Amino acid sequence: MKQKRTETPGWPKFDSALLQEVVAAFQRRRKSIRTRAGLACEREFSETEDGAFERLNFDLQPGFGDMRLTVWEDGKMWLRLCVSAFQRQGGWAFKDDFYGSTDDVSPEALVAMVEATIEQSFYPGSSDPEKYRERLRTIWRRVQMAS
């Protein structure tokens, strides 16, 4: 009888149950994600006046872009997506970021939103940045904080 592996070598372990559940959800979908985007996962700490807080960073490289999803142990999150311009020293053809909360979202739903984002390609020079931003905000509407 085969045993189901619950851990993948090279993936960090977290003290926070929430962050460990998010990592486990990404581990289950890692092969699918890696076929469409490079994927790296790391554990970091944020220091504030109240102490040090654990956080999870996922870095992905979908298409021409760089995407970072950060989730803190209290359920807050930050998403940034940048797409390079084709010209040398051209900067970003698209850049967007926002904060949100994962309180009402399962780790599996969070991974599904990442996968949906990867499927929405932005092509420098031919994609409309505002329409792309709207598609991203639609995908991530469940986690966005009110402004």
Q: Would you kindly state where each structural domain of the chain is located, as residue ranges?
A: 17-139
Q: Kindly give, in sequence order, each residue whose CB lies less than 8 Å from that of residue 86, ignoring residues fewer than 6 positions away.
A: 93, 124, 125
Q: What angle do CA 95, 96, 99 make, to 5 degrees?
A: 150
| Coil, strand or helix at 54 | strand
Task: Quote the pTM value.
Answer: 0.84
Give the pairing type, strands 65-72 and 51-62: antiparallel
6: pLDDT strictly greater than 70: no
Residue 138 is predicted with a pLDDT of 93
Q: Show the tokens assigned to 111.
A: 């991974």
Residue 65's pLDDT band, with cuts at 50, 70 and 90, is confident
- What is the distance between the alpha carbons of residues 115 and 51, in angstroms, rounded to a whole number? 33
CB 79 within 8 A of CB 97: yes
Please write the tens of the pLDDT for every residue from 72-106.
999 999 999 998 887 666 788 889 999 999 988 99
